Amino acid sequence: MDDKHWLERPATIAKLWRGGWVLLAILILAEFTYHPHAYFVLDGWFAFHAVFGLLSCIAMVLFAKLLGVYLKRGEEYYDRD
């Protein structure tokens, strides 16, 4: 018997990933169910919001990582003399 919390079991985590992928696929396919109303050109593209959300977040994480190279300091930085 696995004494881990059900959310921690590898089988559950694998199921969550599978469920997640299915959900993402449904969200993209949902675009066929309504008539999109675009305000600009770009946001009328198919699955624009999905791609834009994914790419902008990856970009932000990488930018933060880069900035961290220069701006991160130890926790005691301001207490040291």
Partner 1 sequence: MIEAVHFPPALILFAGAFLLPFLHGTPRHVVALAAPLLTLWAVWGVPDGVALSVPFLEYQLQVVEGDRLSRLFATIFSIMAFTGTLFSLRQGSRLELPAAFVYAGGAVGVTFAGDLISMFIFWELMAVASTAVIWANGGQTAYRASMRYILMHLFGGVVLMAGILGVVAQTGSIEFGAMRTDSLATWLILIGFLVNAGAPPFSAWLPDAYPEASWSGTVFLSAFTTKTAVYVLLRGFPGAEVLIPIGSYMIFYGIIYALLENDMRRILSYSIINQVGFMVVGIGIGTELTLNGAAAHAFTHIIYKALLLMSAGSVLLMSGGVRRCTDLGGLFKTMPYTATMGIIGALAISSFPFTSGFISKSMIAQGAADQHMFWVWMGLAAASAGVFLHAGIKYPWYVFFQKDSGLRLKEPPLSMKLSMGLFAFLCIGLGLNPEPLYAILPYPVDYVPYTTGHVVTMLQLLLFSGLAFFIMLPYMKRTLTITLDFDWLYRKLFKLAARDAADRTAAAHTAAFEDADKRLAQLINRIFRAHGPHGILARTWPTGSMVLWAAALLALSLVVYY
Residues of the shown chain interacting with partner 1 in the complex, contacts defined by CB under 8 A: 5, 7-8, 20, 23-24, 27-28, 30-31, 33-37, 39-40, 42-43, 47-54, 56-58, 60-65, 67-68, 71-75, 77-78
Q: Rounded distance, CA 60 to CA 57, Å?
A: 5
Q: Rounded distance, CA 81 to CA 74, Å?
A: 13
Smallest distance, Å, CB 21 to partner 1? 9
Cα dihedral 54, 59, 61, 66 in deg (nearest 10): 170
Smallest distance, Å, CB 5 to partner 1? 5
Smallest distance, Å, CB 78 to partner 1? 5
- Closer to partner 1 by CB, 18 or 63: give it: 63
Residues 50, 24: contact at Cβ < 8 Å?
Answer: yes
